[in-house]
Amino acid sequence: MNPIDQAAEWILASRRLVVFTGAGLSTESGIPDFRSPGGVWSRYDPADFDFQNFLASEASREKYWQLATEMYAAIRPARPNAAHQAVYELDRLGKLAAVITQNIDGLHERAGHAPEKIIELHGTALHVTCLQCGKRYERDEIQQRLEQGIKSPVCDDCGGPLKPATISFGQAMPERETREAYRLSSLADLFMVIGSSLVVQPAASLPLAAKRSGARLVIINRDPTPYDDLADLVIPGSAGPILSSLVERVKERLKDQR
């Protein structure tokens, strides 16, 4: 059986499909992989953007917002691609328990998923949070302030420092999202990794949690990952074409079952 047919059979048989997505999904929407050669982290020193530095220094906050603005310029115009749409189609067909994503671009929600179906492990670049009182802002509102020359925006209510609602180096992972991600992974009977190199921890340990609990593991990625030998099925290549074919196969089989 070819890999697409095999994956389709497992999706049809699954009762708890969890999809885990990484940067390889978003690159097909024109968002660069910030960790790849030529990405922002090859031009900035990550140590300069440690969370404790952000808290301690106005200069660090200004530098952080400069970087965040560069990242947001790539994220803001992006739209869901064929891979996002295919994952949403699985949701629409009633075959998806949850999406766990390392991405901060909000494209899964833009594709149509209800927010409660999505776990954003590394936060979102589409909102900004006050670190002092917790007030939440739309990112575009704060972006306007930056474009007006404000280098380090502060909260209207309490004057506390504002920060994109993403997880920085040295910042604790969000407790609720991390706990829920591990819970869902452990309950999955099919765990599909799409577009992740599986090297960023602790997110990269989720496939292992699923596998240890008895789930089948499918990895769809352009490059090899550390868990390929553990996977039940590896489909190398770009997410969009592979997922589009996979979902069409699932829909054909569903039609045949009627």
Residues 160 and 40 in one domain: yes
> Which helix or strand (DSSP H or E) is residue 182 part of?
helix 175-187
Q: Any idea what the CATH number is for the domain that residue 159 is in? A: 3.30.1600.10
Which active-site residues does the annotation give? Answer: 122
Same structural domain for residues 214 and 95?
Answer: yes
Residue matched to tokens 């609602």: 165
pLDDT for position 41: 52
Residues 109 and 188 in one domain: yes
Tens digits of per-residue pLDDT, 126-176? 999 999 999 999 999 999 999 999 999 999 999 999 999 999 888 889 899
| 208 & 250 share domain | yes
Residues 106 and 223 in one domain: yes
Identify the pLDDT of residue 201.
85
Could you tell me if 123 and 116 are in contact, meaning their C-beta atoms sit under 8 angstroms apart?
no
What domain range includes position 145?
32-77+123-166
**Which residues does 104 contact at the CB level (< 8 Å), separation at least 6?**
75, 120, 122, 123, 124, 125, 166
Residue 7 shares a structural domain with residue 55 = no
Token readout for 131 is 């670190």
Q: In Å, what is the CA distance from 61 to each residue of 65, 124, 162, 168?
A: 6, 18, 9, 12
Identify the DSSP state of 198: S
Q: Identify the DSSP state of 248.
A: H
CATH number of the domain within which 102 lies: 3.40.50.1220
Phi-psi region of 84 (alpha: psi -120 to 50; beta: other; left: phi over 0): alpha
Spans of the chain below 50 pLDDT: none
Report which DSSP code applies to 102.
Answer: -
CA-to-CA dists, residue 225 to 20, 60, 83, 149, 196, angstroms: 14, 34, 19, 43, 8
Q: What is the pLDDT of residue 170?
A: 84
Examine the domain organization and report whether 178 and 203 are in the same domain: yes
pLDDT the model gives residue 232: 98
Task: Quote the pLDDT of residue 211.
Answer: 97
Does residue 195 sit in the same domain as residue 250? yes
pTM: 0.92
Number of domains in the chain: 2
